[in-house]
Structures are given as structure tokens and as C-alpha cells.
Chains A and B, each alone.
Chain A
Amino acid sequence: MRRVWRRGAAAIALASCLGVGALAAPAVAEPSEGPGTANESATPTESAPASLVAKALVPEVGVYDTPDAPAPSRVLTNPTATNGELVFLVDAVAEGWLQVLLPVKPNGSTGWIRASDVALAANPYRIVVDLKKHRLTVFNGDQRVMRKPIGIGKEQTPTPKGRYYITQLFQPPNPNGPYGPYAYALSGYSEVLETFKGADAIIGIHGTNRPDLVGKDVSSGCIRMRNPAITRLASMLPLGTPVEIRGSPPR
């Protein structure tokens, strides 16, 4: 029987068996926000583990429905169509195989890839996006290192809730344009737009040339931050950083 390490409860059980202590799942509860917590000082929060990032080492990575499947159900190219590194967020590890979150439709798709096709790295960072509060919070392990207001999708083009990860960091040639100086592509897609300006309607986190609209429901699904904040993130967050989008904006 194949032995599998998983995020969350299974990992706790496994770690316990190994005598190495508990591996908690990435927490979904945020600490309460008290006075002054809008600043960027590190604040202790609930315990959370690092995630695992898998970076492709080969030009094509086969994705299998199960490790026992005779053939891949799809093949992803490396580098990607947008000239980025192909990366995955690892959900589970088995002997020679990794179950990963995929940067494909539908949102939340997972599959199995060969461990020999990728290099693994640990990532202590994660992002929590609260649509209700129009707020993005960055954690480094147990520490909250940033909390910023954001603009999110309009009612007609909402930002999709779910669990995603950062797939690519862009530096637009015009830092004063609509995407600001930096833009992250996420593994998720708009659930109402099939395409956006002729391309896949990929959800992103980026800067803006309309900082006055931060805090409002204004986008086609992307998450907008003020430019100093996205600039700070650009030198901080690895590819593969988990992004949990939750809550519902008040309409």
C-alpha cells in the first residue's frame, strides 16, 4: 500500500506516528483584529506549517489522475505559455509521486505528478484574502507580516473564493499602468468570464493606477493593492505561495 503524507489531519497522524510532533494544516482562522493591527508589525497568530512548492525540472510535466494511471490525463509545459516557471503547490507526497494543486480550470483541480520531474522547496509564506473585509493578509509561519486593504471583483465579475497559489510574478513595462509595478498570476480563474482581453481570465494580485478604488468592488476578478504594498510583496513571496480567498463582499 502506498504511504502518503498529506497536508492537514493526515499529516498530523503521520507526524505523530513518526514521533516528530504535529503538523497542523494551514489555518483558516485569522486572529482578531484589534486597534493598531492595520500596521505591518509582525503579530503572533495561530500556528501554521510551511507549504511545499514543486518547480518543474523538465520541459513537460505529465499530470496523472492517480499514481497508478497508465498515462497522464494532461501535460503541462515548462516554461509556461507566459514564459514563467511551471510550479505547483504540493498537497500530498507519496513514494515517487506528488499530489499537487494545478494551475488549470476548473478552480481547485488537483493531480499527481512524478517527484522526479520537480524540485521541492519549503515556503513559510501564505496569503489570506478576506473579500468581506476587503483585506489581504500575509503570514510568514506564525507571524503576520502584512495586512492591507484591497480592491476586489465587481458583483458581475466576482473574485472567486477558493484555494489557489501564486504561479508567476510579472513586472509590467509601465509601472504606472493599471497593473502597477508588479502583478502576480494565481492558479485560479474567473468563474464568470471565459476570457479577458482575449486571454484566459486568470485571477491575479497586482498594483493599480487607481489607488482611490482600493477597498471597493471594482475589478474583473483580480485583487488590487496599492503599489507600495505589491512592491513589498514582490521581493518577499516565492512562487507557489498559497492564497486562500474567502468571505463574501457585502452587496
Chain B
Amino acid sequence: MTPRLRRIAVALGVVGAGVGLLVAPAGAQEEPSGSASGIEGLLQTPILELNLPPLPLIELPPGGTNELPGLSVPGLLDAGLLQVTANEAPDNGAASTATVAGLAVLPGVADVTGELITSACEATPGGGSGDASLVNTSVAGTPVAVTPQPNTSIAIPLVGSVTLNEQTTEGGRTTVRALHIEVDAPLGVAADLAVATSVCQAGAAAGGPGGPGGPEIPVAEAPTPTPATPTLAG
């Protein structure tokens, strides 16, 4: 919550004491936090089951950068340089990035390749945001947009799906996965891989949730649309 929102909350808390509707948002915390990872998840074949931990991983706190020069599971997964960062940002915020170069996942099955795959997120007490960039990236041989809309899903018939720029927000925590590869293919090949994951959660505004500043109100979010043709003066 921004200082301005907090000021409104304070004013309401005093003046509108009878309102009784001021609540702290779920997940409010004092310090910013976050993480970033290059590749993590499950790879499975009839002869191999591999649970990949986040490689590489950086966490905030303490934050900083981490990288791996490459990652290879022959015939299943190859990646070049993997770099991740997670740091504090102004206004008690958090910012994370994850970059994976030279990606190739399940060639001949899902056939996901990418020259440079990046996710990034930022969070302040007023909210979080994120995006993904997919340079020269293809799914099942078909090129995809460099900056896809959040949560763009691409189905691979008989194989599974890949979600581009997958974004979730829960309890004030924003998570962006540049690619989320989910495969359940014939012949026992399966995968649930997150590529270039960034996670951000802001700390409380000074005097905000959990602090000495007083009551809070939740921040409004975008609604679920009504599935109907509107009656508007078009």
C-alpha cells in the first residue's frame, strides 16, 4: 500500500470509525522478499525421473545475483547461461529477474526452444507487476510472440501445453514464469517445468500493515468479466 493509500486508511480509521471495514490485506509483511530461478520442475521418461531444484536460485533476503554457465540433461533439456537476480527496490519494494539463454526442452516432443527467455517482476506496497520476454522462442516449432500477453496458453496436441508469461498473484506475492511447460505425452514422457521464474513481494509501507501507522483497507482488483454482450450506447 502506498503512503497515500495509507493516509486515506488512517483518515478513514479515525473519521469513519463507525464503518468498521478496515482490514489488513492478507499476506502483509514487514520486509520485501522475492526469489528468482532459471529452471525448476519435473522431467520424466520411462527410464528417468528427474526433479530439478531451482537452478540457479537467488532469494531475497539477502538478495543479489546468481548464475550457472549452462545446464544439460542430454536429449531432454539444454540451456546456456542462466542468470537470476532478486533485490530490494525503492519504497520497501522488491524486484527480481530471471534469464535463460539457449533453451531447448524435449526436442521432438514439446520441442520448446528459445534464444533468450526472461521474466521480471516488481512489487511495491501498492501492488505488483511483471512481464516476460521471449526472444526467438518457439513451441512445437511455431514461433511465439516476444512479449506475449500474461497467461497465454499454447496447446500441443497429444503432448500438453505451454503457458507463456504465466502470472499469478497470491497474498501480495507476484510470480512470473516466462514459460510453464506441462507435458503428459504418450510413451511415458512427462514434464512440469518452469523456465525463468521471478517472484516479488513488497514489504509493508512505513507505518503500514503490522506497523504502528494504524488501520488498512484492501486494494481493489480487476473484476471477472460478465460473459455477455453489453447494452451500451456503442
Contact = CB atoms under 8 A, between A and B. Distances in A.
Given A94-B16, A122-B220, A141 B232 contact: no
Interface in B2-48: 2, 4-5, 7-12, 14-22
B144 to A, nearest CB: 17
A200 B15 contact: no
A23 B232 contact: no
A122 B219 CA distance: 5
B8 A122 contact: yes
Interface stretch (A29-37, A101-109, A182-190): A182-190
Interface residues of B, number: 41
A123 B230 contact: no
A14 interface: yes
A170 B219 contact: no
Interface in A171-200: 171-174, 177-179, 182-183, 185, 189-190, 193, 196-200
Interface stretch (A58-66, A130-138, A233-241): A233-241
B229 interface: yes
Nearest to A95: B18
A238 B220 contact: yes
Contacts of A178: 234
A206 to B, nearest CB: 7
A23 B4 CA distance: 7
Contacts of B142: none
Contacts of B18: 95-96, 115
Contact of B233 (A14, A84, A196, A198): A196
A238 B221 contact: yes
Contacts of A111: none
A119 interface: yes
Interface residues of A, number: 76
A36 to B, nearest CB: 19
A150 interface: no
B4 A141 contact: yes
A179 B234 contact: yes
User: Nearest 5 pairs between A and B by C-beta?
Assistant: A204-B232, A238-B220, A199-B231, A171-B225, A121-B220
Interface of B: 1-2, 4-5, 7-12, 14-22, 126-127, 149-150, 217-234
5 contacts: A14-B11, A49-B4, A122-B1, A172-B230, A206-B232
Interface of A: 3-5, 11, 14-15, 18, 20-21, 23, 47, 49-50, 52-53, 82-85, 93-96, 98, 115-116, 118-124, 140-141, 153, 157, 168-174, 177-179, 182-183, 185, 189-190, 193, 196-204, 206, 219-222, 224, 231, 234-240
